[in-house]
Structure 1
Amino acid sequence: MENRKRYLAALGLGLLYLRLNKRKTRRWWVRPINRNQMRLQDPEQFFNYTRLTTAQFDLLLTWIGPSIAKNSFREPISPGARLALTLRHLASGDSIPTLAFSYRIGKSTACMIINETCDALWIILQPRVLQPPNKIEWQEISSGFQTCWNLPNCVGSMDGEHVRIRAPYNSGSTYFNYKKTFSIVLFAVCDYKYCFTHVDIGAYGSQSDGGVLKLSKFGYNLNNGQLDLPEDMPFPGMQENKPFYFVGDEAFPLQMNLLRPFGGKNLTHDKQIYNYRLSRARRCIENAFGILASRFRLFHTTILKNPEHVGTVIKACVLTLEKYLGKMRQ
């Protein structure tokens, strides 16, 4: 009897030792049931899910896939799944917890994937599709404004758009704008086809459009003649040479290469015609922002990220992808 008790006690200690020293089984990153559900076979549904066709998605994946692929002793999340998760976040504006639950991954993992993929998109795509126009391309843009909007020598329409963010800690009124929300400013210039040619992201929401332009790289290049604009040319039916210029609203200052509308109500007929022509051209940038927001619903939400991460998401994914889609359409 005594030997039996000793045997059972030794057996219990042995089992306890094995249990305590047993290596904990790691959780999976993606549940097995979802591993084969990242790519939808229905083209229309896939486009609604990612805002890209399957051909565009595959081409984009070949470009950035090596940059976002992971090597691990565990089976990592594939580059295609990482890209699809990021595109879904941009296309729908879904929150990180919602996406994490949909993909059966952790919230921190989903956030890390989105940030890393955004960085890769900007690094890979920016040199390919977001280069400043040269003189020949400026000439083509000017011809387009003349043909479509009856505005000669115009090479772009500019404006600023407020992107709502969560109020950063200890920021005071730095990001508080005139709309009574917290935001950062997306400053952009587009051509007559609503395609962006310059973007600047990250200015405080409390800044005016004129202040954003002054502090931006584009504003510096504009003031110092470093945009490689064509030589002055006369308007149709005139002999005197006129400079090429951009158009903006009343918030921007009047400069040699930047025109704004006349203010006031009691304007002469010529000034009213001038304002009407400028208004038609300025509508291009408003339409470009509208197209951008309708394609990527993230713009209709309050982005719950730090300002530096918000800038990365917008410029690396949204604007670069919009420019990428424009190149694909052409």
Structure 2
Amino acid sequence: MPQGDIALIIVIGLIIIAFAVLFTFVPVALWISAWAAGVRVGIFTLVGMRLRRVIPARVVNPLIKASKAGLDININQLEGHYLAGGNVDRVVNALIAAQRANIELTFERAAAIDLAGRDVLEAVQMSVNPKVIETPFIAGVAMDGIEVKAKARITVRANIDRLVGGAGEDTVIARVGEGIVSTIGSAKNHKEVLENPDRISQTVLSKGLDSGTAFEILSIDIADIDIGKNIGAVLQTDQAEADKKIAQAKAEERRAMAVAQEQEMKARVEEMRAKVVEAEAEVPQAMAEAFRSGNMGIMDYTNMKNIMADTDMRESIGKATDDGKNDDNNRRK
């Protein structure tokens, strides 16, 4: 093959590679689309985006959309929001929706809401179409001790000005639940709550529960209401059971003390009996010593035995009399 043909093939190959690199690094198709849509974006601006590691389509396509919608947004604003980690397409969609709904929303505000982690498009849609939040069953106890359970539906609208830094749905539900519990607790009896459930809605709405939140409460409707336990009776039963256990514990303590005293008395009696037996054992020795020393004679001993016999006889008679009286009493009964 002639050298001229080889050189021509090499040149053509280099040209093809150059065009491939050009069309890969420079989004020519995107530049043509922007130019056709009337959005003037320089080719070097797109190259600069590539160098700044910005995906040009993520910025140019939303810019085309904003331009067609009549929004006054430049490419630097969108690129800056992209570099900050925001969702450019969602912000542009939110601005278009706000413009169509006559809601005042600037690009800076929308970008701040998006960077705060909230869905700015959903917020704009919620401003136009309010959202209904349903609470779980919330239980309160009326003054008569009856538990009342209520479920509420909260109709809220997003507050664009408070989306940054405002509390979310959980706070709204918690505040409404607190208002329901307070209203039920202030009722004299559960019948008042059942007869006028709208009293709960009016009381809760009057407290301004949406202050400091990202929402504006439009209405609070009681979806369901039910009767729960008789908390007053349960508390009284529990108190009675507790008092019973305390009384049983005190009675057991007194019984233990009585048993201990009884054991102590038995020990004392046994000790006294032992002393008596010991003293009785010393009597013969004392009498023998008295005989030897002449302090006691035969007559004295005889008189002592007579006295002991007389005492035994009197005790026997007394026992017989007591037994006879007991028999008479038993017969009368």
Q: TM-score band (shorter)?
A: under 0.3
Query: TM-score, normalised on structure 2?
Result: 0.22
Q: Which structure is richer in relative contact order (CA contacts within 8 A, separation 6 or more)?
A: 1
